[in-house]
A and B are shown apart, each in its own frame.
Chain A
Amino acid sequence: MSNIVRHWKFQRYSAIVNLILAIWLAVSVLCIQEYSFKETVNWIKSPINALFLSIFFISSFMHMSLGMQVVLEDYVSNKLLRNRLIVIIKSLSWFLLALSILLILKIIFFN
């Protein structure tokens, strides 16, 4: 599979995962009443919420970096600048994704 086909497919896989999880997230967020520190921590501590939130972060960071890459390819005509921006966005996505999973684990086990 060439890179371009893989890009196209993963953009759509992540879109479908996001579609399902965005509905779950919207319902969950609207169901939390007070948003006190304790209530929010307890929400993340529930295993199903922690799992879905982690999958949401994985899928969203993937969808974001693939989408931003297309936008940069279309609107930044300077190739050197364009490629650097794409590398920055991809690295940042991986870094923030890894960190967000670690933060969720931190909340589950140490809060």
Chain B
Amino acid sequence: MNDDKSYKNRPLSPHLQIYKPQITSILSISHRLAGIFLSLGLLAMFAFVLLLAMGQNYYEMWQYFSNSLVGELILMGWVVALSFHMFNGIRHLFWDYGLGLSLSVSKWSGLLVFGATIIISIFIGIISLGLVI
């Protein structure tokens, strides 16, 4: 199947600029962009464990990064991206079971994902600023 010529030359859907932006298409491309951004987050997690294993002096480099303004903004970016990718991923899992595929449901489930992402990001942001706990 893999070596089949028809698979290798499978058609692609027209690229983004062909379509008028809609909530469904924006969430779809954002899911991919968030995924790519989260790949960098995974590399950062690896770097975190690496620096921790190398000892206290190296771990301080991580602390320097995570306490800086740029570091905090990037970390918060990963929080937002992970929340979104997770909620939208749940939406995808429902689709895989054939649930919620109609246009109307995929529109409101998209809005639900958007709302949940904002709420959980603000919640985590407030907690990590130390305002609650």
Contacts and interface: CB of A to CB of B under 8 A. Distances in A.
Interface of A: 2-4, 12, 15-16, 18-19, 22, 26, 30, 35, 37, 40-41, 44, 53, 57, 60-61, 64, 67-68, 71, 74, 79, 96, 99-100, 103-104, 106-107, 111
Interface stretch (B18-26, B34-42, B100-108, B110-118): B34-42
Contacts of B59: 37, 40
B99 interface: no
A105 to B, nearest CB: 9
A103 B45 CA distance: 12
B39 A64 contact: yes
A12 B96 contact: yes
Interface of B: 1-2, 8, 12, 32, 35-36, 38-39, 42-43, 45-46, 49-50, 52-53, 56, 59-60, 63, 66, 82, 86, 89-90, 92-93, 96, 124, 127-128, 133
A30 B133 contact: yes
Q: Is the interface of A mostly helix, strand, loop or mixed?
A: helix
A22 B41 CA distance: 13
A64 B42 contact: yes
A71 B32 CA distance: 8
Contacts of B52: 37, 40-41, 44, 103, 107
